[in-house]
């Protein structure tokens, strides 16, 4: 069965998604880092508790979780995008963009006026994705690149396609 964007449902995390969401994020990290170090990702041990002050979304097709994305509050006006992950076979189909769209909309509704994120500078696919979405690089530090969405929240939907 082939999954299309029309088949997707993007919903907030629920405890019954714990194992599948954790496995998806760790698989993406293992793919990039060539190892799965579960002890370095304690937020994934209890997603509902860790992200209760923010928002953790999942995209699913039927009963299969194929993408995740979250934000956490940084300050009273800034939220940080984290845990963006799309199942390997489902990448480059617009699913990550849909998750990020929903995170932006929800962050704006929650009163955040600035979105930031960080990724490994060598993770070229992630860097290209965030730049294409409209994020701009703000700085590099210790092998990581930091981004900010400069037009958030008002006109983020008019970002470059």
pLDDT tens sequence across 66-91: 999 999 999 889 999 999 999 999 99
Q: How many residues does the chain have?
A: 161
Of residues 45 and 32, the one with the higher pLDDT is 45
Q: What is the mean pLDDT of the chain?
A: 88
DSSP state for residue 129 in the 8-state scheme: H
Three-state SS at 84: strand
119 φ, ψ to 5°?
-145, 165
For the chain, the distance separating the N- and C-terminal CA atoms, rounded to the nearest angstrom, is 28
Interacting residues of 38 by C-beta distance below 8 A, sequence separation 6+ = 26, 44
The pLDDT of residue 161 is 42
The pLDDT of residue 158 is 41
The count of other CB atoms within 10 Å of the CB of residue 82 is 20
State pTM to two decimals: 0.88
Q: Indicate the domain borders of the chain.
A: 5-158
Does domain 5-158 sit in CATH 3.90.1720.10? Answer: no
Band (pLDDT 50/70/90 cuts) for residue 159 is very low
The pLDDT of residue 32 is 76
Structure tokens at 102: 């929903």
CA within 13 Å, CB half, 73: 9
Report percent pLDDT > 70 for the chain: 88
The alpha helices in the chain, defined as continuous H runs, are: 18-33, 47-50, 95-109, 124-133
Asked if the peptide bond before residue 153 counts as cis, ω within 30 degrees of 0, the response is yes
- What is the DSSP annotation of 105-123? HHHHHTT--EEEEEEETT-
């Amino acid at each position: 069965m082939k999954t299309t964007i029309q088949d997707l449902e993007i919903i907030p995390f629920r405890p019954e998604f714990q194992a599948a969401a954790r496995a998806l994020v760790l698989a993406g990290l293992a793919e990039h880092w060539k190892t799965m170090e579960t002890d370095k990702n304690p937020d994934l041990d209890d997603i509902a508790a860790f992200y209760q002050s923010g928002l953790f979304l999942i995209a699913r097709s039927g009963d299969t979780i194929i993408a995740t994305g979250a934000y956490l509050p940084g300050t009273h006006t800034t939220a940080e995008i984290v845990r963006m992950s799309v199942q390997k076979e489902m990448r480059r189909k617009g699913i990550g963009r849909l998750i990020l769209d929903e995170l932006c909309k929800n962050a704006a509704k929650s009163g955040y006026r600035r979105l930031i994120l960080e990724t490994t500078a060598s993770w070229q696919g992630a860097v290209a994705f965030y730049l294409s979405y409209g994020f701009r690089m703000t700085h590099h530090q210790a092998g990581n690149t930091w981004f900010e969405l400069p037009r958030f929240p008002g006109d983020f939907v008019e970002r470059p396609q």
